Each structure stands twice: as C-alpha cells, then as structure tokens.
Structure 1
Amino acid sequence: MKNRSFFARSWHSCLTVSAFFFVLLAAGCQPESHAENQPESTGQTEIIETENPPQYVSDTSPEDCIVCGEGKGTVLPLYRGQENLGIVNLNSFDLAPVTINRYDDFGKLIEEAEQGSSTHITNTGEGGFFLSVTADTNRGYAHGHLSFDKNKALDMEKTASHLCSDCLNQMMEHCWSDVPFCMGVIDFSTGEIRLFEEKITAFTFGNYYISCDSRDMDEGDLREIDLLIFYCPERYQD
C-alpha cells in the first residue's frame, strides 16, 4: 500500500509539473504581435496636387479652323484621311507630306510593292523650312532632314489664326517646352499635331514612332533636325 501511495503521489506531482511547463511553453510561443498593441490605421491617403495645363483661347471658329474646317488656302485637303504624316510650320501652316503609305488619285490605299524608294524635297522659301525626305513604302518607314530658322519660335498669335481653341489646346497639351519650335508634325488621319522641341529627341505619335534629333548649325541661323519615322500601328488590340 505504501508503494501504491508513493506511486500515486509521484504521478500527481509529475502531472502538475508537466501542466505548469505546458502553460509556460504555450505563453512563450505566442507571436509578439499578440502581446503588443497594434497601431491603429488612420485611413488617410496622401493627396498630390498637380497644376492644370494653361488654357489657350483662339478667335478662330471651328468652321474656319484649318484642321477642323475645310482647310482653305492649304494643301491639307489633298491628304486628309490618309495614314500619313505631314511636316508643318504652325506660324504659316506651310506643310509637306511624308508619304509612307501610297494612295492613288482617288484616295485609295495602294497595297502593292513599290520598286525602289523616292525622295521628296520641299522648300517653302525665305523664313520657311527645307525638307528632304526619303520613304521606303515597302518597309513602312522614312528618313529625312529638316532645317529652319532657329530664331523662329512658335508665335501663338499666328498659330491661333489658323487653329480653333480645341485644336490649339490639344496641340499644346503635349508640349513640354515654354518656347517650342514653330515646326511640328500633323497626322493626316486624325488631325492631331505634335510640336518639335529642343529636348525631345523621340516620341510616339498615333501609329508612328518619330526620332527627331536636333542641333544648331555652327554657322548661320539654321536649326537642323534629323528625322527617322516608322509606321508601326499596334499589333495587338483589345
């Protein structure tokens, strides 16, 4: 009986000690996040204020706008709707086409190979621009050379005499410079215009990629831009 009593007391002691260590282990295994108070979420979102681009107002109505209207007094109606670009002087709206896609006299796209390549030269006279451009219609790209008076910056008053307020603001929306060049590129299919700028050496424009590395001539008052234009519409669309 003594042995049984001793065994029972020993067994109860072991159970008590085991239970005590189990409680300690359970308490020690809890992650610190349960023991510490978590910081409360404030639910606030940082708001970054951005400045709105300046708005430009033109007295030219949409009906008289060269882009929105009939384009009277310019060669724009000859190319309107084509999947091609034009180099344009926004102060005078003199323009020259860059014919990457060929069209017949009725405005229908010519979808056949062309033998060789052709070079087109445009000179709009004193105070204007000189453009020499060679297009490879089979591969869908063109390269050329543009030169113009480097002192001829964009004249907003003259430009507003050609464009309505909507077209003027659409053009200036993508302009990063306070004093952009008077020269730019126009998409004949959409009527959108993008200006050339001193620090912008390449950009995408609709279905085109345009490289436009510019430099001042050492002698004279000319600025030159080397042009490389790829017709590259999106391959995959939703």
Structure 2
Amino acid sequence: MKILQRKRKRIAAVLFTLTLMLCSCGQHAKTEQKHDWKAEAETASVYCVGKDDCFLCGTDAGYFGQNNIGIVSLNSFAVMPVEINRYDHNGQLIEENTGAMQMENFQNGENGMTVSVMLEPDRGIAHISISPNGDATLDLASAASHLCCDCLAELVSQLYGSVNGIGVVNFSTRRLYVLQEGVTSFGAGDYYVHCDYEALGGEIKILVIYSSLRYENLK
C-alpha cells in the first residue's frame, strides 16, 4: 500500500512539473507575439531625420523614379537594385531585349545581408537569394535614423509577428514592404513578389515577376 502511495505521489509530482513547464512555454510564446512595435517606434522616433534627408522622401537617391524594385536593409538602408527594367544614363527606359541572363551579388558591410540576384530582364523575372546575417532582426532606432517620422510610422504599421530587418522598396512609388514570415506574397506596384522563408541555412528565397496591367482602359 505504501509503495502504491509513493508511486502516486511521484506521478503527481511529474505531472505538476510538466504543467509548470507548459505554462512557462505558453507565457513565453505570448510574450514574443505581443512585441509592441508602436511603443518601440515612439522611443526610436527621436532619431528620425527631416524629410529632405529621409531615404524615401529625399530627392538624392539615384534609382528613385525608375519602375524597378530593390532589396533594402531596414537597419542601414543599403540597397541592392533589381533592375528588371533597364535605363540608360539619361534615365530613359531601354525597350529592347538583352538576349542574356544576368547574375549580381551584394554584401551589406561585414555582417549585413548577402543578396544574390539572377535576372531574366527579357521576361521580367528575378530569382533572389538572401542570407540575412546581421539584418535578420529589425532595429527601429537604426531605421529611424534614415527615415522621417511619417515614413517610420508607415513602416511600423506593417509590423507583426516574426519580422526581418530586410524589405523591398519600390523605386517608382517610394514605398517599403517589410519581409516577415506571415506574408509570403504581395504586390509592389507593377511587381508580384513571392517569398519562401523555409529555405535551407536560413536563406530567404524570393521570386519577382514584373506584372503590369496588360491593357489600358481608354476613356
């Protein structure tokens, strides 16, 4: 009888310990999901720049105005342009086929993201591989030092869940799109962007397709 009581006590103790562990895991998961980006943005807003110096609003960025997108570090705002549409030195669109594919690579400093782009400009397609490295997480204070307060607020309005410190910028519309695991595809102006966050080695695989409207409605 005593042996049976001891076994019951041991089983009860084990069950109690497991319950505590499960509760602890649940609380940790909830804490991660409730990251308050708005509160962090309020603190980071002291680092915001004026509109003339803003990455999006300023007039000093060379690729803006072109109908292309780029992969951008949201921590340093270093950009890898994805030049599906080609432009000459005068900013005029080159409307002819290249007859070739192109490979381009980009490294954001020593510890930032690494980007590899395989372009098929004649077909309006780009295959992109990103190793996030030091840009795997978003530092809003660093982001704020490159954005005005309005653009920072627009950026923060997109954030939820697991967020990378990497985004897509549309050079034509001057809009940012944050890469985050809850969003696997989105439209960026004339572009369709599909993201795979489950590649080996923590890489992000992106397929970009130039998909402008086929017809203009003439009135």
Judge same fold: TM > 0.5, yes or no: yes
Spell out the pairing of 1:184-223 with structure 2 (5 A cutoff): 184-215=167-198, 217=200, 223=202
Q: CA deviation at 1:127?
A: 1.7
Can you give the 5+ residue segments of structure 1 that lack an aligned partner in the other structure?
1-52, 72-76
1:70 partnered with 2:59: yes
Aligned residues: 176
Cα–Cα, structure 1 residues 234 and 172, in superposed 2: closer, same or farther, change >3 Å? farther
For 1:115, which of 99, 111, 114 is the aligned residue? 99
Say if 1:172 and 1:234 are closer, same or farther in 2 by CA, change over 3 A: farther
Structure 2 regions of 5+ residues with no counterpart? 1-36
Asked if the contact 2:184–2:194 (Cα under 8 Å) also holds between the matched residues in 1, the reply is yes
Report the structure, 1 or 2, having the larger helix content. 2
Q: TM-score, normalised by structure 2?
A: 0.73
TM superposition shift of 1:185: 0.5
Tell me which moved more, 144-153 or 121-130: 144-153
Q: Residue 230 in 1 paired to residue 209 in 2?
A: yes
Task: Write the distance in 2 (CA, Å) between the matches of 1:196 and 1:168.
Answer: 16
For the aligned residue pairs, the C-alpha RMSD in angstroms reads 2.2
TM-score relative to the length of structure 1: 0.67
Q: Within 5 Å, give how 1:84-233 maps onto structure 2.
A: 84-149=68-133, 152-177=136-161, 179-215=162-198, 217=200, 223-233=202-212
Q: Deviations over 1:104-154 (max 9, x none)?
A: 111110001111111111112322111111111111111121111277411
Secondary structure in structure 2 of the residue aligned to 1:81? coil
Identity %: 38
CA contact (8 A) 1:154 1:180 kept: yes
Whole-Å separation in 2 of the counterparts to 1:237 and 1:158: 41
